[in-house]
Amino acid sequence: MKFKTHNDKKINTNRTSLAGKIEATFEQLLTAFGTPLGQSPDNKVDVEWHVEVAGHESPFTIYNWKDGVAYLGKDGQNPADILVWHIGANQSGKFLGPEVIQTILDEK
């Protein structure tokens, strides 16, 4: 599956929201999608990837949500230890987001 990430170009992720979750290691995500974006200004997200997949209208986001050190401090998980990740998409990609991201990971 062909895709680009925020490391390749600016991807507009406005109007994306939770579409589902996947299980993956930080290392798997790093290998597949490259260096993540950093912490969100509101501290709810420690790391995030923006992904644009050929043939899909919706951009996708991969992120942790309120379970990391940015939000929970010393009680939060280090991103390297997180195993469940949120997948965001806009309305056109809501039901495909997790499946598309999992397919890319399986191909790596």
Q: Give residue limits of the domains in the chain.
A: 3-107
Choose between 47 and 94: higher pLDDT: 47
Number of helical (H) and strand (E) elements in the chain, helices listed first: 3, 5
Tell me the mean pLDDT in the region 16-38.
97
3-state DSSP assignment of residue 57: coil
Q: Which amino acid is at 105?
A: L
Q: Give me the pLDDT at residue 93, please.
A: 78
Structural contact between residues 89 and 97, judged by C-beta atoms closer than 8 angstroms: yes
Q: Which amino acid is at 72?
A: L
pLDDT tens across 3-17, in order? 999 999 999 999 999
Q: Give me the pLDDT at residue 18, please.
A: 96
Q: Give me the pLDDT at residue 92, please.
A: 79
For 99, phi then psi, to 5°, come to -65, -45
